[in-house]
């Protein structure tokens, strides 16, 4: 799959942009495990042009993570164009436009998935941004606003006509938020449309290597994007790539290896922020890791992780996990 001149190879697996998740250390970790392209946390165009420090920090990228996309969102054409120029100056490989975020503070104000209620404005912004910058522009959106409003097949053509170089589609409506199952049927119909010439990337509920392969095989997408399944499991990219290349599951590296990865993720977070803020930032991601779900007192352990305030406290909790899993296996 190629996005403009950027060759991501066959069956690329991408890390989805996620607020408070895809910071630089996490992106580098996912890249290490095989992610073919990574996306920053989404960036508010309004905050960017006001040069809000926290927002400006999101523009920092590293050479080791390339190719990398910076994603912006907003509802005003002028501010999106100005923000796009600022993003271009940060020298990412791709600029992505967020027309898919469903959360109320974004979509409720007309940004993100809120644009699905104002298609003409979405197209106006897209065309203006494409014209304003010299780097490839892509879009990420959803099937539509609600179950009775799913314009994605037509919308994909319209966005392509605006000059975007790739389109990522999350297989849910805004009304669904992240509930229910992602519907890949319409994603497949977009890909089948003979008028579509840009790469189509599918997103939603890719939680296993087997499902990743099925999405490529059944719906014909050019690439797939992994989001929430990477929480506390950045090695999922390695698992998926291995399965796509060999048709076999990657041997389980064991609980100790996985815990060491999560500990390194924690230390990276602390180095970027400080101990207090780093722990607060990372503990929710660790608590959602699937490796803990096989222990008998998972709920209590999860609560303990969410309450941890120091690295020693958090690592002490993590160090108890192998014995709990082994004890459970002995009982079974």
Residue pair 302/289 in contact (Cβ under 8 Å)? The answer is no
| Number of CB atoms found within 10 A of residue 277's CB | 12
In total, the chain counts a number of residues equal to: 332
Q: Which tokens sit at 23?
A: 């910071």
Question: Is position 215 annotated as part of the catalytic site?
Answer: no
What does the alpha-carbon distance between residue 290 and residue 294 come to, in Å, rounded to a whole number? Answer: 8
Residue pair 58/81 in contact (Cβ under 8 Å)? The answer is no
Which one, of 120, 140, 124, lies nearest residue 132 by Cα? 124
- Single out the catalytic residue among 30, 101, 162, 215: 101
Q: Which tokens sit at 67?
A: 């190719």
What does the alpha-carbon distance between residue 21 and residue 133 come to, in Å, rounded to a whole number? Answer: 27
What does the alpha-carbon distance between residue 212 and residue 245 come to, in Å, rounded to a whole number? Answer: 12
Q: Which tokens sit at 51?
A: 């040069």
Buried b (16+ CB within 10 A) or exposed e, 241-257: bbbbeeeeeeeeeebee
CB proximity list for 235: less than 8 A, separation 6 or greater: 33, 253, 258, 261
> Which helix (DSSP H) or strand (DSSP E) does residue 91 occupy?
none
Q: Look-up: residue for tokens 């000059």?
A: 163
What does the alpha-carbon distance between residue 28 and residue 34 come to, in Å, rounded to a whole number? Answer: 10
What 3-state class would DSSP assign to 287? helix
Residue pair 89/51 in contact (Cβ under 8 Å)? The answer is no
What does the alpha-carbon distance between residue 297 and residue 5 come to, in Å, rounded to a whole number? Answer: 50
| Number of CB atoms found within 10 A of residue 26's CB | 24
Q: Which residues are catalytic?
A: 101
């Amino acid at each position: 799959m190629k996005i403009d001149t950027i060759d991501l190879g066959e069956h690329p697996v991408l890390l989805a942009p996620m607020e408070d998740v895809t910071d630089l250390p996490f992106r580098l970790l996912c890249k290490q495990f095989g992610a073919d392209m990574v996306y920053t946390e989404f960036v508010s165009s309004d905050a960017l042009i006001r040069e809000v420090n926290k927002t400006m920090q999101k523009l920092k990228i590293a050479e080791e993570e390339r190719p990398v996309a910076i994603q912006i969102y907003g509802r005003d054409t002028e501010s999106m164009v100005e923000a796009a120029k600022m993003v271009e100056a940060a020298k990412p490989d791709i600029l992505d436009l967020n027309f898919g975020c469903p959360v109320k503070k974004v979509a409720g104000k007309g940004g993100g998935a809120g644009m699905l209620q104002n298609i003409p404005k979405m197209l106006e912004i897209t065309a203006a941004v494409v014209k304003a910058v010299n780097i490839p522009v892509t879009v990420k959106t959803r099937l539509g606003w609600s179950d009775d409003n799913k314009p994605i097949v037509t919308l994909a053509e319209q966005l392509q006509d605006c000059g975007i170089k790739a389109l990522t589609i999350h297989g849910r409506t805004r009304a669904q938020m992240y509930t229910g199952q992602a519907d890949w049927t319409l994603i497949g119909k977009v890909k089948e449309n003979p008028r579509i010439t840009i790469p189509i990337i599918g997103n939603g509920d890719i939680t296993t290597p087997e499902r990743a392969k099925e999405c490529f095989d059944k719906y014909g997408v050019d690439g797939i994007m992994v989001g929430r399944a990477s929480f506390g499991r950045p090695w999922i990219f390695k698992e998926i790539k291995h399965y796509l290349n060999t048709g076999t599951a990657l041997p389980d590296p064991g609980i100790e290896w996985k815990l060491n990865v999560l500990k390194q993720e924690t230390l990276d977070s602390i180095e970027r922020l400080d101990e207090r803020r780093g722990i607060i930032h990372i503990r929710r991601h660790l608590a959602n890791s699937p490796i803990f779900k096989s222990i008998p007192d998972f709920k209590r352990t999860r609560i303990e992780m969410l309450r941890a305030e120091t690295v020693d406290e958090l690592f002490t909790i993590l160090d108890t996990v192998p014995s709990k899993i082994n004890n459970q296996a002995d009982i079974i």
